[in-house]
């Protein structure tokens, strides 16, 4: 597979700095047929998640009650996905009987460090982080670990020696990338020329990229993938303009893949105006807006992550750490994420409520917590 890594910077117009690494011959992208064997292999990978979700992640009961007055801090940097997860955690915290409160952080390094410093001073029973790279708050991480304060970190890929418990860590996000690549191969007759839009500010981007590129190369060596950075600050405003400009500059691109579909907010209308209507859109971790696009057939497929179950799992993990109970092995391995491929026909629910593979999640955890 030829892999092109493209890093862009938005100035008065789009200026691009492209780094191209190639395996095989260089030259213009071509569209040869994908072998039936490759398509079958890809289909075998995705079939378990088409029409049904992966297994419910938690099965072991909480062995001790959480002490009264327990407080859990949540770092909220204002990103749509991060704020949504906080909202989804609130019913879980209420059912468990703990106080969950948010500490606001901006997207800058100084804002993140300030928020985590505040938490260090507050000394809550546990801290929950969503997708804010631990490298940005490394000193505070060390302080929290030294103080014995458990840190549950969702969507990050810190090393095993970090002291963080990451229920959906590197393993889950490499899997996301592999699944997205497999979907493209299974659903394409000819070689795929794709672009992966990622955010360097979100910790798990490197894992998604690794999984996507490696699986695409394995299944379809003649397929290509560019990787383009979308600054997180542009999500919800300038991102569609950046994406359309990139696609116009690379007219052979036949598939758009998102690390996080929040970046696609406002994109369908821009694509329509630009006449770019034949491009496959393969998203992941959709927020309600993305689910509405899918229902309206303005996207091709979403790799849905059950954020509601993940939010309850994070509270459950914090509770176990607070009472001194070892979390389940899948949580420790970073694989406690429920996923399912969502097609337009699968959006039979209200998109504004988000994707929930297990609507009875509250009842399941109520039993596990002995409530």
**Token pair recorded at residue 214:** 């490696």
Under CATH, what is the fold of the domain 71-169+308-334? Answer: Rossmann fold (3.40.50)
Q: What pLDDT was estimated at residue 79?
A: 79
Overall average pLDDT of the 133-158 stretch: 96
* Confidence tier at 107 by pLDDT (50, 70, 90): confident
Q: What pLDDT was estimated at residue 42?
A: 98
Q: What pLDDT was estimated at residue 26?
A: 33
Q: What pLDDT was estimated at residue 30?
A: 54
Q: Which of 176, 152, 195 lies closest to 281, judged by CA?
A: 195
Question: Whole-model pTM?
Answer: 0.83
Question: What rounded mean pLDDT belongs to the chain?
Answer: 90
Q: What pLDDT was estimated at residue 111?
A: 94
189/204 Cα distance (integer angstroms): 30
From 5-14, 186-195, 246-255, 346-355, the region with the lowest mean pLDDT: 5-14
State how far the alpha carbon of 186 is from the alpha carbons of 40, 41, 63, 172, 229, in Å: 7, 8, 44, 21, 26
Q: What is the CATH number of domain 2-53+171-305?
A: 3.40.50.2300
Between 361 and 108, the more confident residue is 361
* Confidence tier at 233 by pLDDT (50, 70, 90): confident
Domain chopping of the chain, boundaries: 2-53+171-305, 71-169+308-334
Q: Which positions ≥6 away from 26 have C-beta within 8 Å? A: 2, 20
Q: Which of 297, 250, 292, 301 lies closest to 272, judged by CA?
A: 297
The per-residue pLDDT for range 297-342, each reduced to its tens digit, is 999 999 999 999 999 999 999 999 999 999 999 999 999 999 999 9
């Amino acid at each position: 597979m030829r892999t092109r890594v493209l890093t862009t910077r938005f100035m008065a117009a789009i200026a691009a700095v492209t780094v191209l690494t190639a395996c095989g011959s260089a030259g213009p992208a071509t569209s040869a047929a994908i072998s039936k064997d490759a398509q079958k292999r890809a289909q075998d990978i995705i079939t378990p998640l088409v029409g049904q979700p992966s297994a419910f992640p938690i099965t072991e009961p909480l062995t001790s009650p959480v002490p009264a007055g327990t407080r859990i801090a949540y770092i909220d940097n204002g990103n749509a996905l991060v704020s949504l997860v906080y909202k989804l955690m609130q019913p879980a915290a209420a059912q468990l009987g703990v106080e969950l409160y948010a500490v606001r952080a901006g997207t800058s390094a100084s804002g993140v460090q300030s928020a985590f410093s505040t938490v260090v001073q507050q000394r809550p029973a546990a801290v929950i982080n969503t997708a804010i790279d631990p490298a940005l708050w490394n000193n505070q991480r060390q302080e929290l670990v030294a103080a014995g304060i458990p840190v549950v970190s969702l969507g990050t890929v810190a090393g095993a020696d970090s002291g963080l418990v990451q229920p959906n860590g590197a393993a889950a996000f490499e899997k996301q990338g592999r699944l997205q690549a497999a979907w493209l191969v299974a659903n394409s007759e000819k070689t795929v020329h794709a672009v992966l839009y990622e955010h360097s500010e979100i910790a798990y981007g490197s894992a998604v990229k690794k999984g996507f590129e490696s699986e695409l190369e394995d299944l379809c060596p003649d397929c290509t993938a560019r990787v383009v950075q979308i600054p997180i600050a542009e999500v919800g405003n300038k991102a569609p303009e950046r994406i359309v400009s990139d696609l116009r500059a690379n007219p052979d691109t036949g598939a758009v893949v998102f690390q996080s579909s929040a970046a696609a907010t406002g994109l369908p209308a821009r694509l329509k105006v630009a006449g770019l209507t034949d491009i496959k859109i393969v998203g992941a971790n959709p927020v309600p807006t993305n689910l509405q696009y899918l229902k309206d057939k303005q996207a091709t497929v979403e790799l849905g992550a059950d954020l509601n179950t993940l939010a309850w799992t994070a509270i459950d993990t914090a509770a176990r750490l607070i009472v001194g109970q070892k979390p389940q092995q899948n949580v420790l391995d970073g694989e406690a994420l429920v996923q399912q491929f969502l097609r337009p026909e699968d959006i039979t629910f209200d998109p504004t409520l988000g994707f929930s593979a297990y609507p009875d999640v509250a009842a399941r955890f109520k039993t596990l917590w002995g409530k």
